[in-house]
Each structure stands twice: as C-alpha cells, then as structure tokens.
Amino acid sequence: MSDHHDHDHDHDHAPITVDELPGYFDLMETAVRELLVERKLFKAEEIRRQIEVLDSRTPALGAKVVARAWTDPAFKSRLLENGRSGCEELGITFYDDTQLIVLENTGAVHNLIVCTLCSCYPRPVLGLPPDWYKLKPYRARAVHEPRAVLEEFGTFIPGDVEIRVSDSTAIIRYLVLPMRPEGTEHLNETQLADLVTRDAMIGVIQVAYKREAA
C-alpha cells in the first residue's frame, strides 16, 4: 500500500491513544488459553515457558540487526533478500514459521508497518508490540492517512517522499531498516544500535542523532 494522495487534516478522527478497554482479540486470547488448560491440551507451565520466551525478546535484537546492516553492506544485502536468515546469522532464533521481510527506508521511500486485522508483529526481533499498534485508530488510519499518523508521532515526511504501508499477516511480518542518520560515521556498531528504537523499526519515527559539542 502506498500514500499517493494528499489528505485534509481538518476533519475529525480518532487519535492514537492507549486508554481503551481490552479489545476483542485480547479477550479471545484469555478465553482460549484458559480453555486449552482446562481441557489439558496444554499445561499452564508450558504456556508460562512460552511467555518467558516472548518476554526475553526485546527491540535490542532488532537494533542489533539494523546496526550490522548499516556497517556491513554484504550483510545488508543478505538481510534485504531474506530477513529471517539474516537475523539468524546474528544468532536470533525464530520460534514460529513466519517469514520476515526487511524494508529499507531511503531518501525516496519511507516504510510504515501495520496489521489491519489484529496485531501481527515481528516478535522474535522486537518483542511484544506497543499498545497503540494494536488499537483500531492506528490500524485503520495508518492505511488511509499515513502522513497524518506519522505527524502525530512527530515524524514529518517531505511531500516528494513516497510512504509505503505494509500490512502484516499471520505468516508474513515486516521490519523497517531505517536510514542511518548523518554524522554517525565515527560510531561503532554498539553505539549505532543504541540509537535505534522500536518505533523506528516499525516506521513511525526516524532515527535521530545529535552529536555532542566538543
């Protein structure tokens, strides 16, 4: 999906906030989990162990991938060709059968990730999704008015830059490879990773760097 037209921002729309009651999918997840345990299809400790695996995944893993791509052109090429195998090169394991597609931001294209149906998300490399990613206002508006959504995150994309919105599915997930900020040539891979945030790898913000005064 791409943003090929202008939007009138004077109309009313639902803001992206997180002060909502649990949604349909949250309630269904709880109900199904309790039913599986009750019927002894899964043990509570098995579910607990899987939750611990999920909790061990954080955006620091994705940031490590981004920093390596910024500093290693050969790795970047492999990552863009096959995101999953690229991550596995760095020891990041995948506990499901999902495909990972890495989308590169450039001076001509800015990528934004959404899941319009529920909250499919690259959890093996980013951990749990933020609450706003799962809300209906973000899921709907990111598709129909991506520039307005980005501006609410403080991200202003020039009008001549195309915004591409990618919709995650149960089997295909996306990770944004942000542009490396200018003035970071002297930073090592670890320092670069420290600049990369979760939101930058979703595409709602850009990576920023402010060099300290000498």
Q: What is the pLDDT of residue 74?
A: 98
pTM over 0.75: yes
For 29-50, write each residue's pLDDT tens digit.
677 767 776 776 666 665 566 5
Asked whether residue 91 falls in the same domain as residue 183, the answer is yes
Identify whether 166 is a catalytic site residue: no
Judge contact between 95 and 53, C-beta under 8 A.
Answer: yes
Residue 194 and residue 144 share a domain: yes
92-145 pLDDT, tens digit per residue, is 988 788 999 999 999 999 999 999 998 899 999 999 899 999 999 999 999 999
Contact 101, 173 (CB under 8 A): yes
Rg (CA), the chain: 18
φ, ψ of residue 108 to 5 degrees: the values are -110, -20
Percent of the chain whose pLDDT exceeds 90: 66
Q: Is the same domain home to 122 and 177?
A: yes
Asked if residue 102 and residue 29 are part of one domain, the reply reads no
Task: Flag whether 91 is in a domain.
Answer: yes
What does pLDDT average to over the chain? 86
Q: Is the pLDDT of residue 9 over 50?
A: no
Q: How confident is the model at residue 5 (pLDDT cuts 50, 70, 90)?
A: very low
Residues with Cβ within 8 Å of 141's Cβ and at least 6 positions away in sequence, in order, are 13, 14, 16, 148, 149
The answer as to whether 39 is a domain residue is yes
The annotation status of 56 as a binding-site residue, yes or no, is no
* 51 falls within a domain: yes
Q: Report if residue 104 sits inside a domain.
A: yes
Same domain, 137 and 212: yes
Verify that 29 and 113 share a domain, yes or no.
no
Given 2, 56, 120, 166, the catalytic residue: 120
| 2 labelled ligand-binding | no
Q: Is 87 annotated as a binding residue?
A: no
Same domain, 46 and 121: no
CA distance 163 to 72: 26
Is the pLDDT at 193 greater than 70, yes or no?
Answer: yes
118 has catalytic annotation: yes
Among residues 2, 87, 119, 168, the one annotated as catalytic is 119
Q: 95 with 48, same domain?
A: no
Q: Would the annotation count 115 as a binding residue?
A: yes
Has residue 1 been placed in a domain? no
- Domain hosting 44: range is 21-56
For residue 214, give the CATH number of its domain: 3.90.330.10
Which one of 15-29, 32-46, 171-185 scores highest in mean pLDDT?
171-185
Q: Is residue 106 part of a domain?
A: yes
Q: Has 119 been annotated as catalytic?
A: yes
Task: Say if residue 90 is in the same domain as residue 34.
Answer: no
Q: Listing from the earlier edge strand, what are the strands of the sheet with 109-114? A: 2-3, 162-167, 109-114
Q: What element of type H or E holds 172? A: strand 172-177
Residue 57 has pLDDT above 70, yes or no: no
**10 within a domain of the structure (yes/no):** no
Is residue 106 exposed (0-12), middle (13-18) or buried (19+ Cβ within 10 Å)?
A: exposed
For the chain, what's the residue count? 214
- Segment among 18-27, 145-154, 178-187 with least mean pLDDT: 18-27
Tell me if 123 sits within 8 A of 61, measured CB to CB: no
In this structure, are residues 105 and 176 in contact, taking their beta carbons and an 8 Å threshold? yes
Do 42 and 128 fall into the same domain?
no
Question: Which pLDDT score, from 0 to 100, does residue 118 have?
Answer: 85
